[in-house]
Amino acid sequence: MNLTVYQDEQFQFIDEGKGQVLLLLHGLFGALSNWEGVVHRFKDRYRVLIPLLPIYEMPIKQAGLEGLVSFIDEFVNHLGLSDMTIMGNSLGGHLALIYSLKHPQKVSKLILTGSSGLFENSMGGSFPKRGDYNYIKERVEYTFYDPNTATKDYVDEVFETTKSIPKAMRIVAIAKSAQRHNMALEIPRIKVPTLLIWGLNDTITPPMVAHEFNRLIPGSKLKFIDKCCHAPMMEHPEEFNEILENYLKFAS
């Protein structure tokens, strides 16, 4: 990853460019590098910020959506951010939804891609099989339309994470917290302009989930990317960025 990771007190994050804030939130097995294409495309016009969520380090009793949203709140306050466009993938989308409802005065636009919050099939829903490399490889590849998108380095990283019992326990706790927190009754209160960018072949949050988000979030726009699964910004970065660029130009 050709990006600098900054450390400021308890926060690790990427901070590139200047302008209106584009805050990016990664998923449960995500990493800062998932958003590399977005950073390079938009850093000349936006201040692109990506906090490293403390998924594997947070106290086990706080390992859940509430604890992660509190962390985002602290990060935003620490940097004095406002007027933000927030974009989240998978679990990150779920967190973006909760944060936007909790702090609507700080959010100007919301972008969700493969977001949880209504329904998801997730590897984290049960205890990951520690020590079974082929199983982890298969599950990681399952999140991509083209299995080759899951590089060996990425599979190795997830495998090393699931080998740790404390980390695996936090993964399960957070995944179960997300599965329990269905937002169908809450998200109609979203008032900011919202864009949904979805993989047409998403196996984790299928297209029907995108249509339901689109129905429930007032005035939201939905765009599909073909031959694409759960992480469009990684599988089809150019098409993803074109959709995002066009939306940010004209959304108000």
Q: How many domains does the chain have?
A: 1
In a domain, residue 101? The reply is yes
Dmax (CA) of the chain: 49
Region 201-225 average pLDDT? 97
Residue 100 pLDDT more than 80?
yes
In a domain, residue 141? The reply is no
Region 26-45 average pLDDT? 91
Choose between 131 and 141: higher pLDDT. 141
Report pTM. 0.92
pLDDT in tens, 67-97: 999 999 999 999 999 999 999 999 999 999 9
CA distance 234 to 35: 7
Lowest mean pLDDT among 39-43, 139-143, 230-234: 139-143
pLDDT band at 45 (very low <50, low <70, confident <90, very high): very high
Lowest mean pLDDT among 88-102, 151-165, 186-200, 215-229: 151-165
In a domain, residue 164? The reply is no
DSSP letter (8 states) at residue 107: E
Lowest mean pLDDT among 56-65, 193-202, 238-247: 56-65
Q: According to the model, what pLDDT value does residue 119 have?
A: 86
Q: According to the model, what pLDDT value does residue 214 have?
A: 98
Residue 252 pLDDT more than 90?
no
What is the pLDDT of the chain when averaged over all its residues? 91
Query: 30-33 long-range CB contacts below 8 Å, 24 or more apart?
Result: 30/89, 30/90, 30/91, 30/92, 30/231, 31/154, 31/157, 32/1, 32/3, 32/5, 33/1, 33/3
Can you give the residue range of the structural domain that contains 33?
A: 5-120+182-250
In a domain, residue 127? The reply is no
In a domain, residue 208? The reply is yes
Region 1-12 average pLDDT? 88
Give the three-state DSSP class for 216.
helix
CA distance 193 to 181: 23
* CATH assignment of the domain containing 194: 3.40.50.1820
- Which H helix or E strand runs over 74? helix 65-79
CA distance 69 to 76: 10
In a domain, residue 135? The reply is no
**What is the percentage of the chain residues whose pLDDT exceeds 70?**
95
In a domain, residue 138? The reply is no
- Which H helix or E strand runs over 196? strand 194-199
CA distance 117 to 36: 25
In a domain, residue 229? The reply is yes
pLDDT band at 127 (very low <50, low <70, confident <90, very high): very low
Residue with tokens 């007032």: 218
CA-nearest of 101, 106, 35, 108 to 77 is: 106
